[in-house]
Structures are given as C-alpha cells and as structure tokens.
Amino acid sequence: MILIGVSTHKRAKRTLPVWIEKANDCVPRDLVGGLMLACDGADALEFGLQFAQTGWGVKGSETRVGVAANKSRIFASFLENPIYTHLFLFEDDCWPVRPGWIDFYLDHHRRGETEALLFLPDRMYGKVAWSRLLPAGGALLGYEKDGGMMMSLTRKAIEKCGGFHRAFKAARYGGEHSELMRRLKRNGLMPWTYLAPKGCEDYLDGWDYANWRGTLRSQPGYSEWCKDVQTLDVSQLPAGQTKQEAEQGLAIFERVKDDGSVFHHPRWE
C-alpha cells in the first residue's frame, strides 16, 4: 500500500484545494492506504484541518519548524504503519495530472533496480548524465542537479537510510532532499544520485516546472497566491523563500552532503 504525503506552509489556502481535486481524479484508492498533510505553522494547520473530514490525515504545529522537519512528520507516519510499502512525498505545489502515475513510478521501482525516484522533468535540470533502458520498456534518467517537488521511496530505502539529515532543522528551505538522495546512492540503493523515470512530466506537474516552462501564471492557485502575498511577480521563487533562506539550506547541504551517516531517524519531534 502507498502513503501519499503533502507538505505545506504559506501556500496552503491556494494549493491544498487543488491537491484535493487532483486526488479525487488521479489517486486510485485501491493502491493508496493513506493520504497525509504535514502543515508547518498556524495558518497552514488551521486550513489543513478542514481536510481531515475528507479522509486526509493531518499533522503539524502552530510554530513553524521548516520544510525538512515538517516533511519528517510524514516519514515518521510511514514507518509507524507496516502496511505501507512506498512513500510518495510531495511539495504542496506539485500534483498528479493523469491517472496511472502511481503505477508508472512503481513499475520503474520494480524494473529499474532503484529504491528512490524523483520528479525531474526532461531538460529542466540540464542534460541527461546517465541513463538505463529497462527490459520491458521505459528508461531511467540521471541528472547532475535535482529538485524536491516529489520523491518516491520504498520501505527498504527509508528503513535503511531514514529521513532527512537533522542538520536541516536549522534551515527553512533547501538541500534536504539532495542530501538524502546522496545518502541513498552511497548505500547502494540507487544506481545514480538524482534519478527520474523518463516521461514523468506526462504524469505530474507543478509550479516549479511551470516556472521553467514560462507558464507559471496559468497554474492552478498561483494568481490567487500572488494576490495573497501582495506582489506582482514572485515567479523566481515560487515557494516564497527569501534568498537568505535558500542560501542557508544550500550551505547546510555543502557541510553535511558527505558526512558518511547511514541512518537519520525521521522522528524529529
């Protein structure tokens, strides 16, 4: 069974309604054992609790803890329930747009000899640096850069390597997913560090990808969110983080990316 987790902070009022709609259209309930929102901060938690009546589990705190610690609530819930075999962990502004996306990723897990995959749309993260054709069709593509819009992980990956590095508790944004992928690769659970199935952009979409395509303003919820933050253009940083916050996460990543640790327990609280 699958656990789908969505992490949200300041965009909850604009992105979670889109997520609920997409879940109704594109999430097969026979494969998905749980839907969870992790809400970082009082506003996100207050809004997120409204969705508890629609079948979503909700965890969070009124005090902001940062993206890595917030997502770690989802990791912990995954490990607490032995029925879950795979975790799909999303940012709140990334979502499925086509039925079959879970089977698409699961097939690549089964056939691609990897315990973790990302959503890395073709060409968004530069040239393909590594690739592997799969016997029954499809391919895995490896890149030198990555993004944290969505990651899928098996129970084996999480039980062996845990969740995000605890050093990222000091950061509001950035770097935590990259360090986890490096740790998984270092422990033999991935054939390449930043890995995605070819064609993943046919199944998923989101604000970061739309920003790269130049179509961000047409994305669900984005125009309303711009009005919320009272700015004409935040397209360069659609998550709303400041340059200082982004640099803080990258600095932590550079410090811990090769620290040699095998396991970081997902429970931070």
**What pLDDT is recorded for position 234?**
45
| Global confidence as pTM | 0.92
Per-residue confidence (pLDDT) for residue 190, from 0 to 100: 96
pLDDT given for residue 250 in this prediction = 83
**What domains appear along the chain, each with residue ranges and CATH number?**
2-256 (3.90.550.10)
One-letter amino acid for residue 74 of the chain: I
- Report which of 71, 75, 91, 101 is spatially closest to residue 157, judged by C-alpha positions: 75
Instruction: Give alpha helix (H) positions in the chain.
Output: 12-26, 42-48, 67-80, 101-112, 155-161, 176-186, 207-213, 222-228, 243-256
Q: Which residue, 100, 75, 109, is CA-closest to 7?
A: 75
Dig out the tokens for 239 from the structure.
């998550």
Q: Could you read off the pLDDT of 105-164 as tens digits, one per residue? A: 999 998 878 999 999 998 899 899 999 998 877 899 999 999 889 999 999 999 999 999
* pLDDT one-digit tens code per residue, 69-119: 999 999 999 999 999 999 999 999 999 999 999 999 999 998 878 999 999
pLDDT of residue 29: 82
pLDDT at 240: 53
Instruction: Output the pLDDT for position 232.
Output: 37
